[in-house]
Amino acid sequence: MKRLDVKAIAEKIDYHQQNGIEMVKITNEYPELTVEEAYDIQKLTIQRYVERNDPVIGWKMGLTSKAKQISMGVDEPIYGRLTESMELREPVLHVKDLIHPKVEPEFAFVMNKELKGGNVKPRDVWAAADGIYLALEVIDSRYENFKFTLPDVVADNASSTKFVLGSQVFSPSYTQWDQVKVTMHKNGEEVQSGYGKAVLEHPVHSVVELTKMMNRDNLTIKPGMAVLVGGITEAVSVEEGDILNVEYEGLDTLNLAIN
């Protein structure tokens, strides 16, 4: 295999992420790329964001539904880094610089205590969680046709692109998050629905898994950080002019205008 230059690959991915230009898979050139090496590439890519004064403000979990894991032939989720520039300040998504964006409904846990270690339990997550937001994540793989292997998608920061949080914060004990029904409408038509339990049987498990995976890489979830726990339904493709209305039953409705 060609010698792996993680720094050069990180620079290349950063360029494609910043400019919304698609690229061929990294594994075409480096077929033996490992998931561990891919996380090194992800870290170096996001270091470039940080150097541009775009700090890491949270983490995201991907491949948290059994269906997505089976379709990729994996039995573990993946994580990515969220930076300040990825958070939309208003519920409007500009798609001009994106490739083939998709939107998925999620929950975001915001922490008020550090979470770390390989032995974290759900009750540790509840003790550390300040509040839960309803959230929409925009994923936009930089790879052609949204097709990739596991190391490819990890290197591309788990397809992270943008996200928006609802304006209401809920107490973690407000409801049974696994039982919440979510229905997505695109341009007035129902396109997806699902329950919170689609996320690793319960969204809290996603934060547990994230902490364990981060521990392997000597990382921790710091106070104040947000964690997007994973898609509650399949992601929906969007284009200019679309309007999404996402109802979280008994909680609130999030709207997103695509411009």
Q: For residue 247, give both structure tokens.
A: 């109802």
For the chain, first and last CA: distance in Å?
43
- Say which DSSP state 86 is in: G
Classified as helix, coil or strand, 95 is coil
The enclosing H or E element of 189 equals: strand 189-195
**Residue 153 interacts with, from ligand 0L1, Mg ion, none (CB under 5-8 Å by kind):** ligand 0L1
Among 137, 140, 209, 247, binds Mg ion (CB under 5 A): 137
Q: Which is nearer to ligand 0L1, 124 or 228 (CB)?
A: 228
Within 34-53, the residues that bind ligand 0L1 by CB under 6 A are: none
Taking the complex as a whole, how short is the minimal distance between the CB of residue 77 and ligand 0L1, in angstroms? 8
**Residue 159 interacts with, from ligand 0L1, Mg ion, none (CB under 5-8 Å by kind):** ligand 0L1
Strand partners, 71: none
Tell which residue, 114, 83, 103, 109, has the closest CA to residue 205: 109
**Residue 40 interacts with, from Mg ion, ligand 0L1, none (CB under 5-8 Å by kind):** none
Counting Cβ atoms within 10 Å, is residue 158 exposed (0-12), middle (13-18) or buried (19+)? buried
Among 6, 37, 59, 62, binds ligand 0L1 (CB under 6 A): 62
The enclosing H or E element of 60 equals: strand 56-62
**Do 235 and 243 form a contact (C-beta atoms < 8 A)?**
no
Chain residue at closest Cβ approach to Mg ion: 137
For Cα atoms 140, 145, 151, give the angle at the middle one, nearest 5 degrees: 70
Residue 203 CA to chain centroid, in angstroms? Answer: 13
Taking the complex as a whole, how short is the minimal distance between the CB of residue 87 and Mg ion, in angstroms? 14
Within 118-137, the residues that bind ligand 0L1 by CB under 6 A are: 137
Chain residue at closest Cβ approach to ligand 0L1: 62
| Residues 215-234: x where in contact with Mg ion by CB under 5 A, - otherwise, as a string | ----------------x---
Q: Any contact of residue 139 with ligand 0L1 (CB under 6 A)?
A: yes
Tell which residue, 11, 182, 166, 203, has the closest CA to residue 91: 166
Taking the complex as a whole, how short is the minimal distance between the CB of residue 255 and ligand 0L1, in angstroms? 20
| Residues 151-190: x where in contact with ligand 0L1 by CB under 6 A, - otherwise, as a string | --x----xx-------------------------------
Within 188-247, the residues that bind ligand 0L1 by CB under 6 A are: 230-231
**Residue 151 interacts with, from ligand 0L1, Mg ion, none (CB under 5-8 Å by kind):** none
Q: For residue 214, give both structure tokens.
A: 């981060």
* Dist CA 88 CA 97 (whole Å): 14
Among 141, 157, 211, 233, binds ligand 0L1 (CB under 6 A): 141
* Dist CA 195 CA 66 (whole Å): 13
The footprint of ligand 0L1 (CB under 6 A) covers: 62-63, 137, 139, 141, 153, 158-159, 230-231
The footprint of Mg ion (CB under 5 A) covers: 137, 231
